[in-house]
Each structure stands twice: as C-alpha cells, then as structure tokens.
Amino acid sequence: MSQIFKSVASSPSVSTSFVTDSGTAIPALNVLNLTGNDTNINNDNGIRVIANPNGSNNAVVQLTNRITGTITTTDATPTVLVTVPLGVTPGTYIATGDLTAYNLTDIAGGSYTFAGAAVTDGAVGTEIGTEVRNIFEQAAMSAADFTFAVSGNDGIVTVVGIAGKTINWNCLFYYRVVS
C-alpha cells in the first residue's frame, strides 16, 4: 500500500477584516458573527451589511426601508402601531405594507394590505391622497380598522380594535423615497 504525503508550507490565507457598508468587521480567532435584522434606514438597494460595533467580530445583514411592529388592543381606541419619520430632507415617499390581526376573544382573524404616499418639505409631511386598502376579514373582525396617515413629519399606521375584544396586531411595510 502506498501513501502520499504532501507537506503544507503555510496555512491557507484567512481574511483578517471585512469592510462593510458601515464600518469594518474583524474576526476574532477566525470567527465572524453574522446575524440579520431589519431597519427603517433608507437604502435604495434594500439591503446593507454593517459592522456592529465597528471593529468588532460582529457583522449584521440588514433589510432596509422596512418598518415592523406589533401591538395588542382591547378596545376601539385608535392606537399607533408603527411610525416612520419622513426625515429632514424634502422628498416624496411611497409606503406599501400589510397588517394581520388575530382576535383571541372570538378566535377570528383579519389581514389587510395598503399603499399610501406622502411628501415632506423636511419639517412637515402631507399625505398624498388617501391610502388604497384591501381588507380580508372574518365577520367578527368587521368593526376593526386601520389607517395609514401623516401627522407632523411622520408616516403612521394606526389600528382600531374592538371594545371588549383582545386583538393581536402585526404590521410590516416598506417605503421608498426620492428627494
């Protein structure tokens, strides 16, 4: 039986730093922690990688231009679910998203989609028209509601639950802006 032996003169080359969209991640003992999340930071690509914090062995892959939120309602009071600051740079925004709701009291559900638009001068935002909505809900959810609106210089998604009903809400929306 023959054996083949090949000596290795040096170790393979290992990257010692990773330049990201924001900072540099530096592996510790050849380990780089790579995690993911979403952010409301504006980025036309829809994705970015950051060192968090800069110089650490942590890098985060972020889905950008996303706003998410959850809330529970137990009454019919309008309640802010998510807010996006329109920013100090004048521009026009479009937001598209969806909400889903589960009525724990009646074991019923509803799902909703919307598209809305706003313009800001950098200090005050104005809604452009009224949001376009699709509503998919069971009869027990027919008194629930939501809106996309502008208040001050923020885009806001507000939900209205049902008196005496415990409803869990979840929202995800994306926005784009041009200045």
Q: Residue 134: which CATH number? A: 2.60.40
Residue whose entry in the numeric block shows the structure tokens 């809330």: 71
Domain that holds residue 124: 67-178
In a domain, 10, yes or no: no
Under DSSP, the state recorded for 83 is: E
Convert the pLDDT of each residue in 26-67 to its tens digit. Answer: 999 989 999 999 999 999 899 999 999 999 999 999 999 999
Do 25 and 79 belong together in one domain?
no
In a domain, 3, yes or no: no
Q: For residue 125, count other CB atoms closer than 10 A to its CB.
A: 24
Give the pLDDT score at 13.
76
Angstrom distances, CA of residue 127 to CA of 18, 19, 44, 151: 41, 39, 22, 9
Length, in residues, of the chain = 179
Do 73 and 57 belong together in one domain?
no
pTM here? Answer: 0.85
- Each residue's pLDDT, cut to its tens digit, for the chain (179 residues) gives 566 666 666 666 778 999 999 999 999 998 999 999 999 999 989 999 999 999 999 999 999 999 999 999 999 999 999 998 999 999 999 999 999 999 999 999 999 999 999 999 999 999 999 999 999 999 999 999 999 999 999 999 999 999 999 999 999 999 999 99
Do 151 and 134 belong together in one domain?
yes
Give the whole-angstrom CA distance, residue 99 versus residue 71: 11
Total domain count, the chain:
2
